[in-house]
A and B are shown apart, each in its own frame.
Chain A
């Protein structure tokens, strides 16, 4: 009897271990994918921006290090923001959180959004100091076109996804 109990505990523990590992691995895959997507968008954006704005070598030498720094900051905050939004969705779904808990979560999200916007603005101010008026104009158009391009890619991805399902 004791032997049976012991073996069942061992079996349960092993099962628990593997389940945890699989869940962790899946989550890790998801966040790795998320990171790759962000990195790929960044690379594509940097390449396209160089072409669209016809940046000179001197300009890229000044702009790109700052672009990379801004990207690192913003990517970290965007990741945190996604986590907080996930928590918020969960809170709304469960409908058990107190008013104070909601307020705290909202405050965190607002704070992160402010940080991201402020960083984006700081970079933009820096960028505009390096660009000629024509390049500034091209940057505005580039932003619109690039964002639209991303949305189109996303729509294609969703259509493909729905076909696969």
Chain B
């Protein structure tokens, strides 16, 4: 038999619940096993301490009316519980399941919000009122079907570009950009505007 099993028998022995072969076996084992001897001594000490405590224990003086008051309070409480709606009573009987259900419910709601509410794919100016393309779409719709407005708008743009070119793109102020400007462009030659490829060409500066 291993020490673990003898140690279980030690508790029974101290309680007086062991006889016969088990007892003789245990006594034989204790003669040579120091671990079990140590365990036996510890258990014996605890046993003695508990026995002393039992012997010296005195019931507190609760007074003559203690139990009658306790009974009255208990009855009143039971009556009160009986008046509560069945749902409340149910939860008061099972407080832990109630908390668990509540927490689970919150988790389900939070997960649902997280999973099902569409999230914007990366916040960016392109998805805000700052979007130039959205504005362009609006402008394009304003010009669609109204050639006069479109022409006027283009003239406004050309005016702005002219000013830009006069100020910034002169040979004196910005010779690199000025020299890079195309001399004649099919669409913009009349206005001396830089072509669409300006950006790509500016790389050469």
Bitwise interface map of B from 141 to 157 toward A, beta carbon under 8 Å scored 1, else 0: 11110111111111111
A164 in contact (CB, < 8 A): yes
- Are A43 and B193 in contact, with the CB atoms below 8 A? yes
The interface residues of chain B, by DSSP majority, are classed as: helix
Give CA–CA (A156, B202) in the complex, Å: 32
- Closest CB in chain A relative to B199 CB, distance in Å: 3
Interface range for A: 35 or more
A residues near B200, Cβ cutoff 8 Å: 64-65, 68
Chain A interface mostly helix, strand, loop or mixed? helix
Inter-chain CA distance A78–B124, complex, in Å, is: 20
Q: Is the CB of B160 within 8 A of A153?
A: yes
A120 and B130 contact, Cβ closer than 8 Å, known pairs A44-B161, A67-B199: no
A18 and B123 CA atoms in complex are apart in Å by 53
What residues of chain B have their CB less than 8 Å away from a CB belonging to chain A? 122, 124-127, 130-133, 135-137, 139-144, 146-158, 160-161, 164, 168-169, 187-188, 193-200, 202-203, 205
Q: What is the interface of chain A, defined by CB distance below 8 A to chain B?
A: 30, 32-48, 51, 57, 60-61, 64-65, 67-68, 71, 74, 78, 81-82, 85-86, 116-118, 120-121, 124-125, 140, 143-144, 146-147, 149-151, 153-154, 156-158, 160-161, 164-165
